[in-house]
């Protein structure tokens, strides 16, 4: 296999661990904290998870371990979309296993949860795993989006686990994948299967976080990758001085990535979906806001600029959010009948007849391309695939029309030439930053300690992340603590609550205080490429979001 010089160099990088995890595993003990309850719907969640609800938060401290000294055979699954650092979670888990006992075994199930159901796995060895250290992607075993949610699936998973002698399964994934982990842990516990389930917090979206999980892995690298690209475009915009760039960035429902990139790059415009919803801004409110900024800059002789658009923006616009909710339910409840419709015309007629009057008007007002994108196949959870909705193109079209109207009225005399971009997949499999390389390795290493101490239904947690790896703390949090009840595929189900941008949080407040200046002036900043070797203040920095959140 041909490898690049950087890849070869990254193989040799030794991720930094928290001090507590640097101890011999026999000298790391559990300290129990307070009992937990779910973020909402406590009675329903408790009823659904009688064996794993209400467990205590735990942390690790330096003391003789009370963990049973036995052979461990552990399975690991990568679930959901890729995120930089996933390979390091596995290598950290592997190294901790082997440090505890050379006979311990780590099996990787291929292609996500389906690999467990189909008994498709590989045993990791030093030679195999060393080719993936500190590299991006999930190609070590692949990933998938199969949901583990039926008793039949749980029985198969238990049979496969028993066949291989597994005593634990680690599921590396986002909110939905870790919901799967919680449900599987509950099933095994209720049947005394003797199989533990541990989760790890993955998603570049940044929406898997709470008072204990400070950030999900991959967010740091993805934001730095997008910020480099946005900075490059800003430099080009300031050089050419003739284009407005509308840049949509990945992030699914939450606007964490958009906000972080704005903090890094200081664009003229950054829309935050959570603010749009809180202020009940309509599509035309957003269009007028953008047109106002374009007009003011044109008056200063600046017919150029950069606008960042969060991927899930359209879901936060009140009238469109209601429309999408109705569409999701309609398509779930009428799946068979709808699938027989072959033409776009017949599909829109079918849908329009079943929508409420207001949603019918909103749907009819949208360009046909956007209508088609709203009717595309749903994701595995029954929701619209927002990455396919070209919100940036829609806004360019509508802003162009508004500026043309203003020009006729003598209220605008500039030039508006707009280009659109979508940054998503470019950031999901990048070489992990030093932060993500260290964080992910620590999460995997920590996951084994949770297993060694007999815990199940927990998520691996590392905290104090703005203080540098040596000062990080390690422990675990019951997955049920993060759960609530939401509507999926037309039914109410337990899921981990997504963490959205907090409008009273320090990162948004910092942005809010400065955006008026950024709108009018050209304040672009250029983060540049991720640095892996050099001064720590350049190479090991984390996100502006995390630094602001943990500032005193």
Here the tokens at position 363 are 């749907």
Comparing CA positions, the residue from 124, 94, 92 lying closest to residue 110 is 124
DSSP codes, 467-506 = S-GGG-EEEEEEGGGGEEEEEETTEEEEEEPPPPPPTTSH
Here the tokens at position 541 are 């920095």
Contact 415, 299 (CB under 8 A): no
Model confidence over 408-466: pLDDT tens digits? 999 999 999 999 999 999 999 999 999 999 999 999 999 999 999 999 999 999 999 99
Predicted pLDDT of residue 381: 58
Comparing CA positions, the residue from 536, 387, 492, 552 lying closest to residue 41 is 492
Model confidence over 178-229: pLDDT tens digits? 999 999 999 999 999 999 999 999 999 999 999 999 999 999 999 999 999 9
Predicted pLDDT of residue 489: 67
Predicted pLDDT of residue 321: 87
Predicted pLDDT of residue 233: 98
Comparing CA positions, the residue from 71, 81, 49 lying closest to residue 172 is 81
Predicted pLDDT of residue 386: 67
Comparing CA positions, the residue from 264, 172, 50, 184 lying closest to residue 459 is 172
Predicted pLDDT of residue 338: 86
d(CA 230, CA 249): 10
Contact 138, 168 (CB under 8 A): no
Here the tokens at position 5 are 């010089």
Predicted pLDDT of residue 88: 98
Predicted pLDDT of residue 336: 87
Here the tokens at position 63 are 């003391």
Instruction: Please state, as a whole number, how many other Cβ atoms lie within 10 Å of the Cβ of residue 509.
Output: 13
Predicted pLDDT of residue 267: 98
Q: Which residues are CB-contacts of 198 (< 8 A; sequence separation ≥ 6)?
A: 168, 169, 170, 171, 181, 447, 450, 451, 455, 456, 458, 459, 460, 476
- Owner of token pair 């920590």: 446
The pTM of this model reads 0.93
Predicted pLDDT of residue 380: 63
Predicted pLDDT of residue 99: 96
Contact 76, 211 (CB under 8 A): no
In the chain the domains, ranked by start, together with CATH numbers, are 5-216+432-488 (3.40.50.450), 219-427+504-549 (3.40.50.460)
Here the tokens at position 400 are 């162009």
Predicted pLDDT of residue 378: 66
Low-confidence ranges of the chain (pLDDT < 50): none
> Which are the catalytic amino acids?
205
């Amino acid at each position: 296999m041909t490898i690049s010089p950087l890849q070869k160099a990254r193989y040799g990088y030794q991720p930094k661990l928290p001090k507590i995890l640097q101890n011999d595993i026999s000298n790391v003990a559990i300290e129990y904290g307070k009992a937990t309850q779910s973020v909402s719907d406590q009675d329903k969640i408790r009823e659904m998870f009688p064996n794993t609800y209400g467990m205590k938060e735990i942390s690790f401290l330096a003391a003789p371990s009370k963990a049973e000294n036995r052979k461990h055979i552990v399975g690991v699954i990568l679930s959901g979309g890729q995120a930089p650092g996933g390979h390091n979670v596995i290598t950290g888990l592997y190294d901790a296993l082997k440090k505890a006992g050379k006979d311990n075994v780590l099996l990787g199930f291929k292609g996500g949860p389906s690999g467990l159901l189909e008994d498709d796995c590989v045993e990791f060895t030093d030679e195999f795993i060393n080719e993936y250290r500190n590299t991006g992607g999930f190609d070590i075993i692949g990933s998938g989006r199969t949901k583990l949610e039926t008793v039949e699936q749980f029985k198969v998973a238990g049979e496969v686990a028993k066949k291989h002698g597994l005593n634990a399964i680690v599921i590396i994934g986002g909110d939905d994948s870790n919901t799967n982990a919680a449900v599987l842990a509950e099933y095994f516990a209720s049947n005394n299967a003797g199989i533990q389930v541990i989760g790890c917090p993955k998603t570049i979206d940044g929406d898997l976080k709470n008072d204990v999980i400070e950030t999900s892995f991959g967010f740091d690298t993805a934001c730095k990758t997008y910020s480099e690209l946005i900075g490059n475009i800003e430099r080009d915009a300031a050089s050419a001085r003739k284009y407005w760039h509308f840049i949509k960035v990945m992030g699914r429902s939450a606007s964490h990535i958009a906000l972080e990139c704005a903090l890094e790059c200081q664009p003229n415009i950054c829309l935050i979906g959570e603010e749009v919803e809180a202020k009940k801004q309509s599509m035309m409110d957003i269009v007028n806001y953008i047109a106002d900024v374009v007009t003011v800059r044109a008056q200063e002789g600046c017919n150029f600029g950069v606008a960042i658009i969060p991927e899930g923006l359209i879901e936060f616009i009140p009238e469109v959010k209601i429309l999408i909710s109705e569409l999701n339910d309609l398509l779930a409840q009428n799946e068979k009948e709808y699938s027989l419709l072959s033409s776009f015309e017949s599909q829109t007629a079918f849908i329009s007849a079943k929508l409420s009057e207001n949603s019918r008007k909103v749907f009819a007002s949208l360009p046909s391309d956007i209508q088609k994108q709203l009717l595309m196949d749903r994701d595995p959870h029954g929701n619209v695939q927002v990455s396919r909705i070209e919100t940036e193109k829609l806004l360019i079209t509508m802003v162009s029309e508004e500026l043309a109207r203003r020009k006729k009225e003598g209220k605008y005399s500039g030039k508006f030439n707009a280009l659109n971009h979508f940054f998503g997949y470019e950031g999901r499999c990048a070489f992990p930053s030093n932060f993500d390389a260290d964080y992910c390795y620590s999460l995997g290493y920590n996951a084994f300690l949770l297993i060694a101490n007999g815990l199940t239904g927990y998520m691996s947690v590392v905290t104090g992340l703005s203080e540098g790896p040596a000062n990080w703390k390690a422990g675990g949090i019951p997955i049920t603590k993060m759960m609530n009840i939401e509507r999926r595929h037309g039914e109410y189900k337990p899921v981990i609550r997504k963490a959205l941008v907090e409008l009273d949080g320090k990162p948004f407040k910092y942005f809010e205080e400065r955006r008026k200046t950024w709108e009018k002036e050209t304040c672009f900043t250029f983060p540049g490429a991720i640095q892996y070797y050099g001064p720590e203040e350049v190479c090991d920095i984390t996100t502006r979001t995390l630094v602001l959140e943990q500032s005193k």
